[in-house]
Copies of this chain bind each other. A is one copy, B any other.
Amino acid sequence: MDKETLQEVYGNCACYRARAAARRVTRDYDEALKPLGLKITQFTVLASIKGLKPSSTSKLAKGLAMERTSLVRTLELMQNKGWVRLGPEGYRREQQMELTAEGEALLEQALPVWRDVQARFESRVGEARWQENKDWLLDVAFSD
């Protein structure tokens, strides 16, 4: 395998670039949220439960472009911490979920922290560039 070939790979690989970007951004958010004992992944789940009121974990997973079983493991953690409550099984075993009072309070606490990191991110990469590209990231995640 020659040098040009290797250049082709690590000069273009979409997966490497997407993962590197995600790792970096995750570290920045997690560092800021650490005093709350919260990780950005969990913050995202908290906010989407509150906002989407999903009727099943499967639907929530689809909405977040997550593998269902990945989401379930995170939900288990969040239940153990007392932030989330799962309802009884309903239609075809669907389970609704909702935030506990502690979950809601934590989300409120985390919001200004999130705002701060998000603002620093947008400033770092350029607000205009972010506005141009933010929807493209969702397209990468969801398009067929």
A interface residues (Cβ-Cβ under 8 A, vs B): 1, 3, 5-7, 9-10, 12-29, 40-41, 44, 47-48, 50-51, 64-67, 104, 107-108, 111, 114, 118, 121-122, 124-125, 129-130, 133-134, 136-144
Query: Complex Cα distance A96/B44, Å?
Result: 39
Query: Complex Cα distance A122/B15, Å?
Result: 11
Knowing A1-B104, A47-B6, A51-B6, the reply to whether A134 touches B23 (Cβ < 8 A) is: no
Query: Complex Cα distance A29/B118, Å?
Result: 29
- Say how far A140's CB is from chain B's closest CB, in angstroms: 4
Copies of the protein in its oligomer: 2
Name A30's closest neighbour in chain B (CB-CB). Answer: B15
Knowing A10-B44, A44-B10, A134-B12, the reply to whether A64 touches B20 (Cβ < 8 A) is: yes
Given contacts A10-B51, A12-B134, A16-B40, 20 further A-B contacts (CB under 8 A): A5-B111, A6-B47, A6-B50, A10-B47, A13-B40, A13-B44, A13-B114, A14-B134, A15-B40, A16-B44, A16-B64, A17-B134, A18-B21, A20-B137, A21-B137, A21-B141, A22-B22, A25-B140, A125-B139, A129-B136
